[in-house]
Structures are given as C-alpha cells and as structure tokens.
Amino acid sequence: IRALTSKYNEAKRIRESRLSLLKRIESGSDELFQQSLNAMVAAIRLYGQDKLMLSFNGGKDATAVLYLTIAASAKYMIETGQQHNARINAVYFFDPKNDFEGTYEFVEETCNENGITLTVLECGYKHGVEGLVSKGYKAFVIGTRSTDPNGKSGEFYCPSSKGWPAFMRINPIINW
C-alpha cells in the first residue's frame, strides 16, 4: 500500500506542477508564446501523446520546448477532461565524445522531475529517428527557430526531409 500511495502522490505532484506551469504561462505570456502553446496543443490533438516524441538535448531552446510541451499537455488535459497525467516522451541522443560535461545528468534529472519518459540513444540522429519511427512515433518536437540553418521554412509543422523516414517536425518556437 505504501508503494501505491507513493506513486499516487508522485502523479498528483506532477499533475499539480503541470497545471501550475500552464497557469503561469497563460497569465503572463505574449502572443508569440500563445501561438507556440496552441501549435503544441494542436500537435498533441493530431498525433496523440503516444506518437509524439520530444527531442531534448538539455540546451536552452530544447529546455524551453520541454516546458512548453508540459504546458501544452496540461492544456490538452483540461480541454479533454482527462483526469490523469498524459505521458510525455522524450529522446536524448547521447554523444559521450562531444556532449558537455553534466548534460546527460541535467537531461535525466529534468525529465525525472517532470514525469517525462526519457529514451536515451547513443547513435546518430537519423539512425535514432529511423528506429523511433519504426516503433510508431509520427512527430518529433524540436527547438528549431527561423534563424537556425534548418529553420528557413518558418512553419510550426514541417514534414521530414528527403532521404529520411516519414514523420512531422513540430517547431513550436520557430518564430521566437
């Protein structure tokens, strides 16, 4: 019974944390942020949280997208009347030779604190995405902005490139 109570309390803490984040975001954010939040809610509605994968490398843009995804998940939960926390999936492409010291730990701790299911892959991005698409993931949430080399489309939703498996790139901060 203690283990069940502990799991219940942790789920409750995560739910309250997600709802609190959403409330703070909605009460003080600008139009660009609201557009990004709405684009993420639409992606969740279209693909479902079980087919959506957040690419999280611990960088500043990826961290902003992580918290935006958490807020969008909470908003979707409210809109659909869900009573439980929807699982948020994240992938970290770990490169022990090139990652900054402490990045792996930051990624892992951030996901654990926020109730995010983390998959760590020690392979190239394309190979990893191929494997995830073969497991049924349909869309990847990434932290691309319009000023980034691959952000020229300026669109929230962008299909994968030629030579890649078919999936949708979700770019919620493209216009920041």
Residues 58-117 have pLDDT tens digits of: 999 999 999 999 999 999 998 998 877 778 999 999 988 888 889 999 999 999 999 999
Q: What is the pLDDT of residue 29?
A: 65
pLDDT greater than 90 at residue 31 = no
Residue pair 39/170 in contact by the 8 Å Cβ criterion = yes
Task: Report the distance separating Cα 90 and Cα 117, nearest Å.
Answer: 6
Select from 50, 120, 34 the least CA-distant residue to 89.
50
With b for 16 or more beta-carbon neighbours within 10 A and e for fewer, the 108-143 pattern comes to: eebbeebbbebbebeeeeeebbeebbeeebbbbbbb
